[in-house]
Chain A
Amino acid sequence: MLKIDSVTHSFPGVAHRVLDNVSLEVPEGGFFSLIGPSGCGKTTLLRIVAGLLAPAGSGEVYVDGVSLIGPSPEKAMVFQHFNLLPWRTALDNVAYGPELQGVPKKERHELARKQLQAVGLEQYVNHYPSQLSGGMQQRVGLARALAVEPKVLLMDEPFGSLDALTREYLQTELQKLCEKSKVTVLFVTHSIDEAIYLSDRILVMGRNPGRIVRELEVELPRPRWSYRARSEPSFAKLRDQLWDQLQNEMAEGEGQEGSRGGHSE
């Protein structure tokens, strides 16, 4: 279970708050998405949860009731730009987390091989990232995050830089992996369809200041790859609701666009 308790953050020299008193709770094994216009602080929130950024105001992060504000292997991150270490093979990239924890070479390689197999890359263990396509690289990124057996998976627009086909394919793969590992997921995206297809609940964020303005439950039955979930009437209805809400948020923040903080996503 992941609990975020009243996180407030601002960047130096920026008057308004990037995040204002954001709280949320993802139940164990749950899949929650954060969606919102650019500048709403969703990536900043995820970086704070991951421990990559210390909240410049207040805020607490709990995993299974334990306060975990800094970096921890309990919370693994999957990055928008994959961030594979180019000097490591796929195998050593996946084995990186266990290596940092002091797992001996043979064991961590075995572990990494298993993870790569789970994402369908067992034939690419000795390839360097530059020899892999974008989709393959992100599968390695996912395997790397799962290799530390985290309780929480934090995903920052992980499929944002992939083509549409690869994207849909990986969305399905991700669902299967999550089901198997029972990991709790907090997923940042700017794609409405992606949010609906993957999530149990979608949290819409607004900007100036960044905060959660609405929560929407997705009640489509799982597993969603087993039928045409995207063609369901309830999928279309949710899409309309989200779209209206997001347009509102866009319009509201528009006037203050110029004063927005310098953080890029």
Chain B
Amino acid sequence: MAIATPTDEVLETSILGRARNLRGSPRIIRVGSVLFVLAMWEVIGRANPLFTSYPTEVASGVLELMTDGRLAPALLTTLQGLGAGYFIAIAIGIPLGFAMARIRTLDIALNPYVAALYATPRIAIIPLLVLWVGVGFQLRLTIVVLSAVFPVIINVRDGAKEVDRNYMDVAKSLAAGRWQTLRTVVLPGSLPYVFVALRIGAQRAMIGVIVAEMTSAIAGTGRLLLDLARVYQTDKVMVIIFIIGFFSIFVTSTLRMLQTKASPWRAESRGG
């Protein structure tokens, strides 16, 4: 375990200091890069609008989608399944991950299923799910839970097992009980991994729900995306893709922010 020494601090401040000196220039590069790509897209896109559409057309596509009343219901439908499923996946995955890390018998008993289901592409189960629960809300819910719960379990379990032995020694030497050790060392010690689990779970959940809607559902964002593509409305397809992309970025950065807030003892968050 890295214990901060004065040398680390010195190193850290010097890196931060250097970044601060360059603060102006990366931003200019970033904005310039985005503007350049948009301009190229506009030029190339106009040559063959069916292929990629182009930025000004996409902008007007946003307005059309919003006014024709298809976008909002589709987004809402997807979000309901996503939100409910993600919540269930977390509520099951986090406690189960910790339980598997701390109770050997449980770990050994459940590991074959967790490992197998984690490795199987969840998308392959969709046809079966349609048979079981139909093509509505329950399909979204089920696929989101199945997509998110296994990465959550596995990351939480591995993180809880990875907790520094030195910290476990402290708890043990002061005669902490099982629950006390879990609460005061294992939980806070594995917090970075829990947030990794939440991020990966969220990404998997989003993939799951969009794919389920594209392949099987009769409503939702994925379905709308497919419908628009089938009638060659590339500009609107682009709008949907951007919405999904921005939503994903929003979720990830919100989780990062929460992690920073939950770990005031570290200057920066670790893990990916």
Contact = CB atoms under 8 A, between A and B. Distances in A.
A76 interface: yes
Interface in A69-87: 70-73, 75-77, 79, 81-87
Contacts of A128: 264-265
Contact of A72 (B175, B184, B188, B263): B175
B4 interface: yes
Given A82-B3, A133-B6, A87 B173 contact: no
A84 B171 CA distance: 11
A83 B175 contact: no
Contacts of B1: 81
A129 interface: yes
A130 interface: yes
B131 interface: no
Report which residue of A71, A84, A85, A129 has the largest number of chain B beta carbons within 10 angstroms of its beta carbon. A85
A83 B185 CA distance: 12
B174 A51 contact: no
B172 interface: yes
Contact of B172 (A51, A86, A96, A137): A51
Nearest to A92: B184
B4 A129 contact: yes
B166 A96 contact: no
Nearest to B6: A133
Interface string A124-154: 0000111101100100000000001000000
A83 B167 contact: yes
Contact of A97 (B5, B169, B174, B185): B174
B125 interface: no
The 6 A-B residue pairs with the shortest CB-CB distance, nearest first, are A130-B4, A128-B265, A77-B173, A87-B188, A71-B175, A83-B166
Contacts of B266: 86, 130
B175 A87 contact: no
Interface string B167-186: 10111111111001000110
A18 B5 CA distance: 33
A99 B172 CA distance: 14
A100 interface: yes
Given A81-B3, A83-B170, A133-B6, 6 more contacts: A83-B167, A84-B3, A100-B177, A129-B265, A130-B4, A130-B265
A7 to B, nearest CB: 17
Contacts of A84: 3
Nearest to A71: B175
A84 B184 CA distance: 12
Given A96-B174, A100-B175, A86 B265 contact: yes
B257 to A, nearest CB: 18
A65 B169 CA distance: 25
A161 to B, nearest CB: 9
Interface string A48-61: 00111000000000
B191 to A, nearest CB: 8
B172 A71 contact: yes
A85 B167 contact: yes
Contacts of B267: 130
A100 B176 contact: yes
Contact of A79 (B5, B6, B166, B180): B166
A129 B2 CA distance: 11
A125 B44 CA distance: 62
Contacts of B6: 133-134
B263 A87 contact: yes
Contacts of B166: 79, 81, 83
Contacts of B177: 100
